[in-house]
Chain A
Amino acid sequence: MCRWVLTLFAALLLLAAGGCRRTPTEADRSLPDGGDETGPTSSRIEDGRMSTTPDDAKSLTPELLEASKEFKAQEHDRREPAKKLLPVLVEGTPSVTVQAILGPPREIVWDYVLFYSQMITIIFDDQGCVTRVMPEPPGGLQPAGSQRERKAEPEVIAAMRAFKTGESDRQEAAEKLLPLIEAELSRREVEELLGPPDQKTWVYTLLEPSVTMLVRMSDDKVASVETPGLEEEEDEDSSADAP
């Protein structure tokens, strides 16, 4: 009984923290890129109120509303509702609308271009916390808080500035900053280190594990939508039906 109460308490703490495992800062909450915003937005979705923006209510037909509900409710195979919803996710669609239609993404990916063929890719979970970094920092992804003191070092501050302004070789600065990206860092904290990413991608799973929907965001609006694996699945289905 006691354990059950503790578990419930921990879950409530997580919810209170905007879903992250740590208490987010005010700045975290203000980030427009999903994550800490996921909590309140998804609440609205679960309430069945789709009108997160006036445009949503106008543009979604009853059929699309049904597809949206199905997309969010379906845990295993979301391909059919995804196909119906794809035409709605046009370039320029606000991220809040995407979230209202599709629900929170499984992952959010931030890319920073360093050089030719060189990028830092940071993956946040559906709670907005860092789960993976590529390339992996030397020695692996460090535990939350373990690198806090290093962030005040003058050479790190200089590297942060160089990385953000792009005035010098970003690769050199990245070497100093990469080890400071810890597990469970919030997006705000990552942004403090590296500045805004060159690309944000919201990742939705359509069919585990191979079919995904990648919603590329630019200025918190849809830049493009890709569905790797969906076409192949269709091809396989059609070839299976062939005599």
Chain B
Amino acid sequence: MPGACSDRKGAGDASSKKSTGKPDAGKKPCKRPPCTKAEILKPVGSLDTKNDKSAWLAAKWRFDFQGVIQGVPGAYVLDFNGTVTPAPPYTRKWTLAAAAGTLQNDTTASPTHVPPASSGEGALKLVGMAGGKQATCKAQKKVKIYEDHLARDKDNFGTGISCDMYWSFTKFGATIDSLTMWNCHGSTRHLYDSSGNGSAGPGGITHLVQARNLKKTVTVTHKDAGGGTHPALGTLNRGDVVAYYTATGALAHTQTCTGNGTETYGANNKPLSFPGKPGPARTGGNEAYEWATSPAGDWANNVKKGLKLGGAVITPFTIKVFSKP
């Protein structure tokens, strides 16, 4: 165990063979206790390394080092866990960069993460302690906190890739494969609060299209050969949901506003191609089934005027804008 020693920089690290610092007179060099290993078990992944699939939380559809700021719907905390060996005599000491939040119970195996109020990223560190001094072993990972679920999902899934069955994406060095299809409503729900599994029917997003949150309603003017138009949708804020209804009242599509002008984001969010039949191209339909950004309100412009489905004419489409609950 360490006794009285100089704490001058350069004199202390036992792992450093060549020390240039000189100890204070009468005191021996300060050596850090040589604990064997510090290991951060959770998160498995790290923002600054090439990750593998084990860093992906399949049921939650995010990497385990990705958080969101406090206060957003569906806010969560990151799961931290680590070991220092041998313990005893060594104990743990966790620290987290302020940009990534703060920690409670920072000497336990699983400190509690408190997310920050704004987005950021920073290092999570675990060091071994002995006799109140830092030991030689240490471990570090980097975590990232997003402003909302939309920012995190958009960072992960991006645009221009399939969201149909067996879609996959590569991010932070890991290729993640999905055995299931993501649809527009499923992504709208996940972008809001991280809930669901990416596939949802209209019933899965009723909380996002409530009449009390309705901001604007317009009707699409369809044309015989596509290229229809719609009136302006007014001011669109980040998280607003744009919903498209057929003339028979069925909810056909939803998309989430990013706050960047009229931009929206979501799965299967590429505007329909003419004549606007349901289903992916492989089934003879006109849906792209891609992760995409697209201008709010444009999704149904290419639906042919008078298009019939199930024996009923489904045009004109109505577009409704709902503010984020």
Q: Which residues of B contact A214 (CB under 8 A)?
A: 166
A183: min CB distance to chain B, Å = 17
Question: Which residue of chain A lies nearest to B281 when distances are taken between CB atoms in the complex?
Answer: A224
Residues of A within 8 A of B167 (CB): 228
- The answer to whether A167 and B311 have CB atoms under 8 Å apart is yes
Whether A210 pairs with B283 at a CB distance below 8 angstroms is no
Which B residue sits closest to A132, measured CB to CB?
B179
Do the beta carbons of B252 and A121 come within 8 Å of each other? Answer: no
Contact A118/B310 with A210-B168, A228-B168 known, Cβ cut-off 8 Å? no
The answer to the question of B134 belonging to the interface, with a C-beta cut-off of 8 Å to chain A, is no
In the docked arrangement, what's the CA distance between A113 and B280, Å?
A: 8
Complex interface: chain B residues within 8 A of A118 (CB): 183, 201, 278
Q: Closest residue of chain B to A113, judged by CB?
A: B279
A119 CB contact (under 8 Å) in B170, B181, B310: B181
Known: A116-B252, A168-B310, A170-B310. A199 touches B177 (CB 8 A): no
Q: Is the CB of B181 within 8 A of A121?
A: yes
Contacts of B284 in A (CB 8 A): 198
Chain A residue with Cβ nearest B182: A117
B34 contacts the other chain (CB 8 A)? no
Say yes or no: is A111 at the interface (Cβ < 8 Å to chain B): yes
Quick check: is B180 within 8 A (CB to CB) of the other chain?
A: yes
Number of interface residues of A (CB under 8 A): 33
Task: Return chain B residues, CB-CB under 8 Å to A236.
Answer: 175
In contact, B282 and A117 (Cβ under 8 angstroms): no
A134, B178: Cα distance in complex, Å: 13
Using CB atoms, name the residue of chain A closest to B201.
Answer: A118
A219 at the interface (CB under 8 A from B): no
The answer, yes or no, to whether A32 is at the interface (CB within 8 Å) is: no
Q: Which residues of B contact A198 (CB under 8 A)?
A: 279, 283-284
A212 to B165, CA, bound (A): 11
In angstroms, Cα B287 to Cα A209, docked, is 27
Contact of A117 among B168, B185, B248, B283 (CB under 8 A): B185
Interface string of B230-265 (1 = CB under 8 A from A): 000000000000000000101011000000000000
Task: Say whether B285 faces chain A, with CB atoms less than 8 Å apart.
Answer: yes
Q: Mark A160-180, 1 if CB is under 8 A from B, else 0.
A: 000000111111000000000
A205-243 contact mask (Cβ, 8 Å, vs B): 1 or 0: 000011010101000000110001100100010000000
Complex Cα spacing A171 to B250, Å: 10
CA distance A114 to B287 in the complex (A): 13
A54, chain B: closest CB distance, angstroms: 29
State whether the Cβ of B217 lies closer than 8 Å to any Cβ in chain A: no
Residues of A within 8 Å of B310, CB to CB, are 166-170
State whether the Cβ of A135 lies closer than 8 Å to any Cβ in chain B: yes
A residues less than 8 Å from B250 (CB atoms) = 115, 169, 171
B162 CB–A CB distance under 8 Å: yes
Q: Are B166 and A223 in contact (CB under 8 A)?
A: no
A108 within 8 A of B: no
A168–B165 contact, CB under 8 A?
Answer: no
Q: How far is the CA of A196 from the CA of B183 in the complex (A)?
A: 23
Q: Check B181–A134 contact: CB distance below 8 A.
A: yes
- B201 cross-chain contacts in A, Cβ below 8 A: 118, 135, 171
A109 within 8 A of partner (CB): yes
Residue pair B287, A229 in contact (C-beta under 8 Å): no
CB pair A119–B279 under 8 Å, yes or no, is: yes
- Tell yes or no: B51 within 8 A of A by CB: no
B199 touches A135 (CB 8 A): yes
Q: Which chain A residues border B166 with CB–CB below 8 Å?
A: 203, 212, 214, 228
- Residues of A contacting B185 with CB < 8 Å? 117
Contact yes or no, B175 A232, CB < 8 A: yes
Q: Given the interface contacts A116-B278, A121-B181, A199-B283, does A109 sit within 8 Å of B175 by beta carbon?
A: no
- Are B162 and A224 interface neighbours, CB within 8 A? no
| A134 pairs with B180, CB closer than 8 A | yes
Among B175, B252, B283, the residue within 8 A (CB) of A229 is B175
A209 to B179, CA, bound (A): 10
Mask for A123-146, Cβ within 8 A of B = 1, else 0? 000000000001100000000000
A113 and B285 contacting across the interface, CB-CB below 8 Å: yes
A179: shortest Cβ distance to chain B, in Å?
14
Q: Nearest B residue to A115 by beta-carbon distance?
A: B278
- A232 and B170 CA atoms in complex are apart in Å by 8
Q: Known contacts being A134-B180, A209-B177, A216-B282, is A116 close to B168, with CB within 8 Å?
A: no
Query: Contact string, B161-177, partner A, CB cutoff 8 A, digits 1/0?
Result: 01001111010000101
Question: Which residue of B has the minimal Cβ distance to A174?
Answer: B201
Q: Measured between alpha carbons, how far is A148 from B41 in the docked complex, in Å?
A: 49
Apart from A111-B283, A199-B280, what 13 extra A-B contacts exist at CB < 8 Å? A113-B278, A115-B250, A115-B278, A116-B252, A116-B272, A116-B278, A116-B287, A134-B180, A168-B310, A168-B311, A201-B165, A228-B162, A229-B168
7 examples of A-B residue contacts, CB within 8 angstroms: A113-B278, A115-B250, A116-B287, A117-B252, A117-B268, A168-B310, A228-B168
